[in-house]
Amino acid sequence: AKALAGGRWSSFDPSAAVRQARSRRLERDMRDALRNRQFFLRFQPQIEFASGRLLGAEALIRWNHPEFGLISPAEFIPIAESSGLICEIGRWTLFEACREAAAWPGELGVAVNVSALQFEQSDIEADVSEALSGSGLPSSRLCLELTESAFLGNGGAVIAKMCALRETGVVIALDDFGTGYSSMSYLADLPLDKLKIDQSFVRRMNANPNVLEIVRAIISLANGLKLQVVAEGVETELEADALQRLGCETGQGYLFGRPDEAIRMLSKWNAQKRL
């Protein structure tokens, strides 16, 4: 293996052979990573634009690899999905996120990413119920973030699972909205509470009038369907102002904070409230 230092994340040689070798290596190492406590969670604040209030946070997984250092979930989650390890890792994330969030003050929520494969193949209802009862976190404070890839396979079974979860009080968000192939057709039938506007739109909305119109349409659609809207990837005041003007209530992004330890995120937002 190569020395992969420099930067926040370990980088990798883009040539296909090297990438494949690294991917096989990561897949092998991932099997022991849970047991060896190499995964941890970071939390990114979700802020109500109007009040500047902290509403909750999204849990984002990190892997501290003994040799390569920090590895991005954008790299290892796809490997976990293709190897099937995502079910075990996703279960750990769910339990860990609930355990941490149960100690947070007030009504703060926690959002957990659930892979399509995990949602389909694992007993997600049992896992959620165990994670909630074990941690004492009220169901209304847990949000599951699903992408539309969860609905590509067995639509009926997936909808049944979502309905069952929602009946227990868990919140369901459709993640990365607008980036898939047929987002619109899902909206009619899915039992959803929230839409997350993908950051690719937020990033371009102030430079490209067409993108701004798309964001406007997504927000108006969500409002019409009585879904909460969360914009991801909010980096500037300009973006936050534009989103709020368009009727989006909640934002998440570097403007408000990078993913961080829960304790630091909480103290930052408590401190700001006292100002």
Name the segment binding ligand C2E (CB under 6 A); options: 22-30, 70-78, 150-158, 183-191.
70-78
What crossing angle do the helices spanning 124-135 and 155-167 adopt, rounded to 10°?
20
Residue 250 touching ligand C2E (CB under 6 A): no
Alpha-carbon distance values, 223 to 107, 229, 230, 247, 248 (Å): 23, 8, 11, 8, 9
- Contact between 114 and 174 under an 8 Å Cβ cutoff? The reply is no
Q: What distance in Å separates the CA atoms of residue 165 and residue 118, rounded to the nearest whole number?
A: 14
Q: What distance in Å separates the CA atoms of residue 157 and residue 161, rounded to the nearest whole number?
A: 6
Among 30, 161, 259, 262, binds ligand C2E (CB under 6 A): 259
Residue number closest to ligand C2E, CB atom: 253
Nearer to ligand C2E, 8 or 226 (CB): 8
In angstroms, what is the minimal distance from the CB of 149 to ligand C2E?
10
Q: What distance in Å separates the CA atoms of residue 235 and residue 254, rounded to the nearest whole number?
A: 5
Interface with Ca ion (CB under 5 A):
113, 145, 175-176, 198
Task: Report the site for ligand C2E in 87-146 (rule: CB under 6 A).
Answer: 90, 93, 113, 115
- Contact between 191 and 172 under an 8 Å Cβ cutoff? The reply is yes
In angstroms, what is the minimal distance from the CB of 192 to Ca ion?
14
In angstroms, what is the minimal distance from the CB of 151 to Ca ion?
15
- Contact between 144 and 93 under an 8 Å Cβ cutoff? The reply is no
- Contact between 43 and 57 under an 8 Å Cβ cutoff? The reply is yes
Name the segment binding ligand C2E (CB under 6 A); options: 47-55, 69-77, 161-169, 265-273.
69-77
Nearer to ligand C2E, 84 or 167 (CB): 84
Residue 183 touching ligand C2E (CB under 6 A): no
Binding-site ranges for ligand C2E (CB under 6 A): 44, 60-61, 72-74, 77, 90, 93, 113, 115, 175-176, 199, 232-235, 253-254, 259
